[in-house]
């Protein structure tokens, strides 16, 4: 399955950075570019459990011939996690639920080496974010 262009660009940019500290700086910059959620989106129903940092994922669905399309926005109070949210949104947002459910983000992230230098807590938080989005996609 072909990944979205924005995600492919992020993966390519990360592959050019040899040093993991440079990769994290890039991920942090991606997070800084994300728009902030509104107060209406930063509610308990959108908060992701299983993350040490506070993370909110707001999903809106629109109908399409391929089934519901997920439009996902997210935010975290931690810089690196905010960057991981940006990478996750580049992979999953604006795609049909069926594609989201079929996309194994963790395998893709492992292939990219994205989790290699994450702390266990951040890795578990990333897993929680992925599981939440995929569960919503599977239920759609």
Q: Tell me the per-residue pLDDT of 3-53, one tens digit each, with 9 for 90 and over.
A: 889 999 999 999 999 899 999 999 999 999 999 999 999 999 999 998 889
Distance CA 97, CA 66 (A): 8
Furthest CA-CA distance within the chain: 43
| 126 noted as active-site residue | no
For 63-73, how does the pLDDT look when each residue is reduced to its tens digit (9 = 90+)? 988 889 999 99
Exactly one of 11, 14, 48, 51 is catalytic; name it: 51
Beta-strand relationship, 69-76 and 55-62 = antiparallel
Interhelix angle 105-112/79-92, nearest 10 degrees? 120
Confirm if 90 and 10 have CB atoms less than 8 A apart.
yes
| C-alpha distances out from residue 60 to 54, 70, 74, Å | 20, 6, 12
Rounded distance between C-alpha atoms, residue 136 and residue 52, angstroms: 21
pLDDT tens for each residue of 43-69: 999 999 988 899 999 999 999 888 899
User: What fold, for 5-139?
Assistant: Sufe protein. Chain: A (3.90.1010)
Mind listing the pLDDT tens digit for each residue in 98-140? 999 999 999 999 988 888 888 899 999 999 999 999 999 999 8
Give me the residue spans of the domains in the chain: 5-139
């Amino acid at each position: 399955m072909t990944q979205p262009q924005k995600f492919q660009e992020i993966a390519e940019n990360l592959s050019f950075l040899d040093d993991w500290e440079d990769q994290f700086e890039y991920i942090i910059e991606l997070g800084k570019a994300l728009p902030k959620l509104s107060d209406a989106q930063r509610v308990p129903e959108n908060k992701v459990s299983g993350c040490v940092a506070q993370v909110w994922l707001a999903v809106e669905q629109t109908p399409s011939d391929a089934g519901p399309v997920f439009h996902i926005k997210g935010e975290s109070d931690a810089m690196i996690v905010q960057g991981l949210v940006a990478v996750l949104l580049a992979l999953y947002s604006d795609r049909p639920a069926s594609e989201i459910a079929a996309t194994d983000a963790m395998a893709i992230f492992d292939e990219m080496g994205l989790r290699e230098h994450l702390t266990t807590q951040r890795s578990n938080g990333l897993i929680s974010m992925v599981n939440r989005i995929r569960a919503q996609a599977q239920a759609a």
